[in-house]
Structure 1
Amino acid sequence: MAHIPEGVLSAPVLITGALVTTAAVAYAIRKLDYDRLPQAAVLAACFFVASLVAVPAYPSSVHLLLNGLMGLMLGWLAVPALLVALLLQAVFFGFGGLLVLGVNCLNIALPALLSYYLVSPWLNRALLANNRRQLFISGMIAGAIGVAGTGALVCLALVLSGPQYLAAGKIIMLTYLPLLLVESLITGAIVGFVAKVAPELLQRQLPQPLVAEESHATN
């Protein structure tokens, strides 16, 4: 991700990010499953700790995201979980800032949701077939989507705020390439492990229509 600092983005980008994030959080709360709150808290804490180790990449920073993993395991609940983690980072450590909180959250949460909807069908089939190879690959894809999506959104936010950030955006995308590889491998390994010890943590969070279709197909 990138903790885009305050004073970089233009007002229209800040307002758009705040409005879209507010709408996404409101929708996620309406779909809230209170049984999943402990799981969301643990993943938000993992994100909080992992993102404290950041490599500066002006005008942003690069670090482990885990948003692809959060998307697979939490679905829409990943949005408020990420918002809380980013808020605590902004308040206690000065990462990002309150004014850019909406944009920073959107940059991470949107790829998390994309991973959830795009990878869940393949992940569901791998779980039903107990295919370890496909489980690992599905985790890798989710991790790659999380990193690539976040990098693209960070660059888009910067470029929309001013053409002077175009060069910085290109540099940021280059710094995300090694992160994409590392995070893909980490996410794939975690998904494989979770599928082995507690597969319900993954399967329960698949989009309900997809779960229904898979259940009907097995019958």
Structure 2
Amino acid sequence: MAHIPDGILSVPVLVGGAAVAAAGVALAIRRIDDRAIPRMAILSAVFFVASLISVPIGPSSVHLLLSGLMGLILGVGVFPAVVVALALQAVLFGFGGLTTLGINATNIALPGAVIGWLLGPWVRRARSPFRAGMWAAAGGGLCVLATGGLVALALWLSSSEFTPVARVVLITYLPLALADAAITAAVVGFLARVRPQALLPHLSDTGDR
């Protein structure tokens, strides 16, 4: 899905993706307090394992993302969680690449961070675990579709020859969006019922909206 390998994308796309990822990591380091570190490590490990099960499609691959879940729980902390997991996958298993680490991380983490900012307060203020799960499902599905759009955009900006591949990748994201939405809803609904404080992102300098 977002494991675009080295040698595919143009230099401007690589630089732009790396800049966004670096800014996201820097912001997370400034805003996330120590209470969020264990959850960042756990969710990074979950993403690492889940995204190892992938199906190659052209220059990209299809796999579970769970970025909506990470964004709702970690907020902007989704950036370092994703960067660490992708870096280990590239080094240990050859998934993705090192030059594309920034753009791959941006494609996954940016939608998660945005969904966490937009829908996180609605999830935490939901009057029932079911409603929290429904908001989370919407966020999980939207994250997958947004990542698909970003991957397609990165391919298209790099070369018009990738346009057919980008269209195929976008189509494959529809069932994956449903799968991610279901998993995100189940996890968030469970946490809202048994441990709602686990849904707080623990931002050190901002309050919940």
TM-score by shorter chain over 0.5: yes
Residues 82 and 105 in structure 2, CA contact (< 8 A), matched pair in contact too: yes
Q: 2:172 aligned with 1:175, yes or no?
A: yes
Post-superposition Cα deviations, 1:68-118, rounded to whole Å, max 9, x if no partner, equal 000000011111111000000000001111000000000001011111012
Superposition TM-score, scaled by structure 1 size: 0.91
196, 204, 216: which one pairs with 2:193?
196
Aligned alpha-carbon RMSD (Å): 1.3
1:158 is displaced (CA, Å) by 0.3
Shift of 1:124: 2.5
The one-letter amino acid paired with 1:124 is: R
Which residue number in structure 2 is paired with residue 215 of structure 1? none
Q: 2:120 aligned with 1:120, yes or no?
A: yes
1:84-163 matches, within 5 Å, as 84-126=84-126, 129=127, 131-163=128-160
Q: In structure 2, what is the equivalent of residue 74 of structure 1? A: 74
Larger Rg: 1
Counterpart code for 2:178: L
Aligned residues: 207
Q: Which runs of 4+ in 1 moved over 6 A?
A: none
- Determine if contact 2:24/2:79 at 8 Å carries over to the other structure: yes
Query: Which deviates more, 185-194 or 115-124?
Result: 115-124
For 2:182, give the aligned amino acid.
L
**Alpha-carbon offset, residue 204 of structure 1:** 4.8
Q: State how far apart, in whole Å, the 2-side matches of 1:24 and 1:121 are.
A: 20
8 Å Cα contact 1:72-1:205 kept in structure 2: no
Q: Distance in 1 between matches of 2:124 and 2:185?
A: 15
Q: Which runs of 5+ in 1 are unaligned?
A: 211-219
- Contact 2:87–2:101 (CA<8 Å) still a contact in 1? yes
Q: Deviations over 1:28-52 (max 9, x none)?
A: 1111211111111010000000000
> Do the aligned residues in 2 keep the contact of 1:158 with 1:166 (CA within 8 Å)?
yes
Whether the 8 Å contact between 1:66 and 1:183 is mirrored in structure 2 is yes
User: Partner of 2:3 in structure 1?
Assistant: 3
- What TM-score, normalized to structure 2? 0.95
